[in-house]
């Protein structure tokens, strides 16, 4: 998965496009021979002119160099020799949850030379894209098997805008300091530590740029019971409820979250903790779902919690 520093989108005042996108430091493996070849000849050239050689390619693209680099996409298509190589391929992304399955249509000259390809279209989040793919040789592989190219992809497209986030809550007390999720889009997991009171709350989510983030941990981890909610690929949170109460920790009394329960479109999780305190419930309209959280913590307890909806 590409890190946030590898990608950015910027609103601009175009008539058709509304997003400028840029990918940097991507590495295409152009390997034309040997056991790791990423292309194969399907039509041999004319013996006199050398024209007509047609090669099918499935070039993998990684987010870095070395054994820890992750596969983020593939360039799949053809290149044909007609005095020079002509490339025409689909660049399909698997960078993160948001862009998985979106494509760019790319065409241009020889892969063996530094230069540019043209972006002439796209699908999914990159529908109607236009722009360029700059390429340069990063490394020539041993034994003449090919090379690794560094790509910079820069373009414009019409990207669907997200509906605005709305808030419900918070519930609980005013202790501790405020905490927040950053531009949440979809919840993936929720982790709770509890024993009569919520001692720790943590949530992983996908943000609006498609990057995986973590909210928390909020609280100090007090409690012997640890529960983890892992949502399925089509599962969304439709209801958040619980209780809060005045907790006496021996020296002071403060209002903290005592229990939590989550209801999705598939099942119910919880309640976690005791349910004897003051009840609360997020008012989630039928056409919306909970995508993130905000609240307060003093690094000992979860003092308050609220939800983001979309």
Full set of structural domains in the chain with CATH = 4-157 (2.40.480), 166-309 (2.100.10.30)
Q: Say how many CA atoms lie within 13 Å of 141 toward its Cβ.
A: 18
Q: How far apart are the first and last CA of the chain?
A: 25
The pLDDT-based confidence of 95 (bands split at 50, 70, 90) is: low
- How far apart are alpha carbons 155 and 17 in whole angstroms? 10
More confident residue, 136 or 66: 136
160 pLDDT exceeds 70?
no
Average confidence (pLDDT) over 17-23: 80
- State the pLDDT at residue 110: 82
More confident residue, 272 or 2: 272
Task: Give the CA distances from residue 75 to residues 16, 158, 197, in Å, rounded to whole numbers and listed in that order.
Answer: 26, 22, 52
Pair type for strands 237-248 and 278-281 = antiparallel
The structure tokens 């063996």 sit at 112
Greatest alpha-carbon pair distance for the chain in Å reads 93
Which whole number is the average pLDDT over 114-122?
A: 94
Can you give the pLDDT at residue 1?
45
Picking from 45-49, 255-259, 270-274, which range would have the lowest pLDDT averaged per residue?
45-49
Q: What token pair was written down for 9?
A: 């989108």
Answer yes or no: is pLDDT of 209 > 90.
Answer: no
User: E-assigned strands of 12-70?
Assistant: 19-31, 39-43, 54-62
Q: Give the per-residue pLDDT at 11.
A: 60
Lowest mean pLDDT, pick from 92-106, 212-226, 277-291 = 92-106
**pLDDT beyond 50 at 15:** no
CA angle (149, 155, 160) in 5-degree steps: 125
259 and 275 Cβ atoms separated by less than 8 Å: yes
* DSSP track, 151-181: EEEEEEE--PPPPPPEEEEEEE-S-SEEEE-
Confidence tier at 51 by pLDDT (50, 70, 90): confident
Instruction: Render 242-287 in DSSP notation, one character per residue.
Output: EEEEEEE-SS-EEEEEEEEEEEESS-EEEEEE---SEEEE----TT
Alpha-carbon distance of 294 to 168, in angstroms, equals 10
Output the six-digit token pair for 270: 């919880």
Pairing of strands 268-273, 225-230: unpaired
Q: What are phi and psi of 129, to 5 degrees?
A: -70, 155
């Amino acid at each position: 998965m590409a890190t946030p520093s590898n990608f950015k989108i910027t609103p601009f005042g175009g008539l058709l496009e509304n997003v400028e996108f840029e990918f940097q430091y991507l590495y295409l493996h152009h390997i034309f021979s040997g056991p790791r070849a990423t292309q194969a000849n399907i039509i041999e050239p004319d013996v006199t002119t050398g024209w007509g050689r047609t090669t099918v390619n499935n070039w993998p693209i990684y987010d870095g160099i070395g054994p820890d680099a992750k596969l983020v996409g593939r360039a799949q298509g053809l290149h044909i020799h007609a005095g020079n190589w002509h490339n025409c391929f689909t660049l399909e992304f698997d960078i993160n949850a948001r862009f998985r399955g979106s494509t760019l249509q790319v065409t241009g000259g020889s892969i063996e030379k530094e230069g540019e390809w043209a972006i002439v279209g796209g699908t999914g989040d990159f529908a109607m894209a236009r722009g360029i793919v700059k390429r340069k040789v990063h490394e020539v592989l041993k034994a003449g098997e090919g090379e690794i190219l560094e790509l910079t992809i820069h373009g414009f497209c019409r990207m669907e805008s997200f509906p605005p986030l709305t808030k419900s809550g918070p519930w609980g007390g005013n202790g501790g300091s405020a905490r927040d999720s950053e531009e949440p889009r979809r919840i993936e997991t929720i982790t709770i530590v509890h024993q009569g009171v919520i001692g720790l709350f943590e949530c992983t989510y996908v943000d609006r740029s498609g990057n995986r983030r973590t909210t928390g941990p909020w609280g100090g981890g007090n409690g012997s019971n640890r529960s983890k909610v892992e949502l399925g690929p089509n599962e969304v949170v439709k209801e958040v409820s619980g209780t809060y109460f005045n907790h006496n920790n021996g020296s002071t009394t403060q209002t903290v979250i005592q229990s939590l329960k989550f209801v999705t479109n598939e099942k119910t999780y919880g309640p976690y903790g005791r349910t004897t305190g003051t009840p609360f419930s997020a008012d989630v309209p039928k056409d919306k779902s909970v995508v993130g959280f905000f609240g307060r913590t003093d690094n000992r307890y979860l003092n308050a919690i609220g939800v983001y909806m979309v």
